[in-house]
Structure 1
Amino acid sequence: MWSAFKSHLLPVIQLYLLGLKVLVVQLLSGPLRLPVMPRQDGKVAIVTGGGRGIGYEVVRHMARLGAHVIIGGRDEQEGLAVVRRICEQYKEAKVEFKKLDLASLQSIRQFSQSFKERDLPLNILVNNAGVMLVPEGRTEDGFEQHFGVNYLGHFLLTWLLLDPLKDSGKCGSVSRVVNVSSSAHCIGDIKLNDLNSCQCYSAHAAYCHSKLAQLLFSSQLHQEMQHGGFPVSSCAVDPGMVDTALYCHLWTPLHLAQRAIARLLFRTPAEGAATVLSAALSPVLEGDCGGGYWANGHRESTTTPTFDPQLQLSLWEISLQLLGLQ
């Protein structure tokens, strides 16, 4: 009985209590506003899931500042509509949409290869797309959906784009990888022998595990780049509780309550994008100031497992094996 409670009900209770705590903290912190950022003319950025919510705001602000932004997403109709909307708002905007399904390793490889064939620089990669509390299921390649989309898909995308990221960075203007994570990583638990949550599935637990995996990856990537002397930094960002469609898989009564509460108490997508944009664009985060975990507009400490070097390295190596990259 305890085993069933621990596997199914405990992650639910933990996640909603954490959500309440996060909501209180961000209400006490007040609204987040993006500081003035420098122009980004000549820079190229890729934003996954840039067709809505936080991703859309990130794309819009980058385009406003002169960056050439490529939206990677599944919904072509939505993506093209966003491109038209932004170009109507900012006449000089350079925005385009390219098909990218993070639940398909083939799609990720095609997207990456297509980008590299264009011989463009890549200064900023924002790994923003994600799923939350989706019913149990598998990606095209057989991975649990939260693990496959939120973590493994972005791992592969980043790995395949490392060469243009390395080539585009330079001293004083390093290339940046920004991984949009969540405070839910605090209650995640990485089981290296059960990354696909086969032993006992809980959508709540699987989501938290995938967010912890993102942080471990982000930290390990930053170390790999630093040790190799490459001009690339990697950080993880928690945008907070934001009024987006991410909560659509909540239990129906809770979803209805959440929709009403979100309009009043959650951050707007623009506010949620503020910390992401700061991590991607701020000149303050050059050199030794890069990397880390960012929330509420500033660097924050996080849970002990995130800084476990053996866990970081083990997950990194297993991920390379799962993706056939060794």
Structure 2
Amino acid sequence: MIVLLANGRYSVIGSYRNSDLLIAGNNTGKAQEAVRQIQEETLNDKVEFLYCDLASLKSIRQFVQTFKKKKIPLHVLVNNAGVMMVPQRRTRDGFEEHFGLNYLGHFLLTNLLLDTMKESGSPGCCARVLTVSSATHYIAELDMEDLQGSRSYSPHGAYAQSKLALVLFTYHLQRLLAAQGSPVTANVVDPGVVNTDLYRHVFWGMRLIKKLFSWWFFKTPDEGAWTSVYAAVTPDLEGIGGRYLYNEKETKSLAVTYDLDLQRELWARSCQMTGITDVTPDTFSG
């Protein structure tokens, strides 16, 4: 099994004791430390790091090329990179950073790896795409006329929109995979409120509350990652996709995420932005 994570906290993936584990991210120092820690905790020396900057479409494509040259299977892809409530700024490709990194980076990475995942999965043992969203998506709005927040930028609104987009993306991806009869499933994971350094850009009062009461309100990184681990390995989700999972249980996402037309519209726009072919018309024709 190959488990591919894009940034995030890694130490909790010690459950994969006999698996090949590939960590992808843009922080070489942290990733190498994670590799060392996982190897020590699990006695698994089949752990590797490859550089991938999800804020750069070029870097994503280079990463995928490097990965595919290894000619190894990919059974689980965990999309878990992100920024939160950062000041208004752009990725290397000119996208608003929340939308470009949190959403489009994962969109392109997943699509470029799908052929490998389809080859790796099989009936009764599907490969799995797990995308980490957030409860923030419940208060988000998707502005299809201004996805980059050019007219009015709000750090919180931009972050929430990126998390909403990930849910819509996952549901449409699952519909495509099911229609194609692919041995791959796609689900969304909500880790809950987790005590990480993502909060460094939030209002100082929130940072103070986090510092004082994190033991009460916030999950530890290991606790926050458990639903991702569960979704990656549980037999209960074999062959099942299109689910929103919180605390290892299926729950309902925001009502608008089930809008098939909105799912399709966002997918088509995302294909245009990332320069890939939209297979939706051919998949659902007739």
TM-score band, normalised by shorter chain: over 0.9
Number of residues paired by the alignment?
Answer: 277
Find the counterpart in structure 1 of residue 250 from structure 2: 299
Correspondence 1:112 to 2:67? no
For 1:272 and 1:211, the matched residues in 2 are separated by 16
Correspondence 1:77 to 2:29? yes
TM-score (norm 1): 0.83
SS in 1 for 2:201: coil
For 1:88 and 1:216, the matched residues in 2 are separated by 38
CA displacement 1:184-209 (0-9 Å, x = unmatched): 11111111111111110000000010
Pairs within 5 Å for 1:96-245: 96-245=48-197
Find the counterpart in structure 1 of residue 282 from structure 2: none
Answer whether contact 2:38 2:44 (CA < 8 A) is retained: no
CA displacement 1:33-85 (0-9 Å, x = unmatched): xxxxxxxxxx11101114x3xx432x3322x2x11111111111111111112
Find the counterpart in structure 2 of residue 262 from structure 1: 214
Greater RCO, 1 or 2 (C-alpha within 8 Å, sep 6+): 1
Answer whether contact 2:11 2:37 (CA < 8 A) is retained: no
**Residue 172 (structure 1) shift:** 0.8
Amino acid at match of 2:254: T
Pairs within 5 Å for 1:76-95: 76-95=28-47
Find the counterpart in structure 1 of residue 275 from structure 2: 324
Find the counterpart in structure 2 of residue 47 from structure 1: 5
Find the counterpart in structure 1 of residue 204 from structure 2: 252
Amino acid at match of 1:60: G
Over the matched positions of the two proteins, sequence identity in percent amounts to: 45
Gaps of 5+ in 2: 278-286
For 1:80 and 1:286, the matched residues in 2 are separated by 32
Find the counterpart in structure 1 of residue 14 from structure 2: 60
**Residue 145 (structure 1) shift:** 0.6
For 1:205 and 1:222, the matched residues in 2 are separated by 26
Deviates more, 1:144-153 or 1:187-196: 187-196
**Residue 94 (structure 1) shift:** 1.6
TM-score (norm 2): 0.94
**Residue 92 (structure 1) shift:** 2.8
CA displacement 1:9-35 (0-9 Å, x = unmatched): xxxxxxxxxxxxxxxxxxxxxxxxxxx
**Residue 314 (structure 1) shift:** 0.3
For 1:182 and 1:257, the matched residues in 2 are separated by 20
2:261 aligns with one of 306, 310, 320: 310
Answer whether contact 2:22 2:50 (CA < 8 A) is retained: yes
Answer whether contact 2:55 2:101 (CA < 8 A) is retained: yes
Answer whether contact 2:55 2:91 (CA < 8 A) is retained: yes
Deviates more, 1:141-150 or 1:88-97: 88-97
SS in 1 for 2:150: coil
RMSD: 1.2
Amino acid at match of 2:28: E
For 2:223 and 2:245, the matched residues in 1 are separated by 14
Answer whether contact 2:11 2:38 (CA < 8 A) is retained: no
For 1:322 and 1:157, the matched residues in 2 are separated by 13
**Residue 227 (structure 1) shift:** 0.2
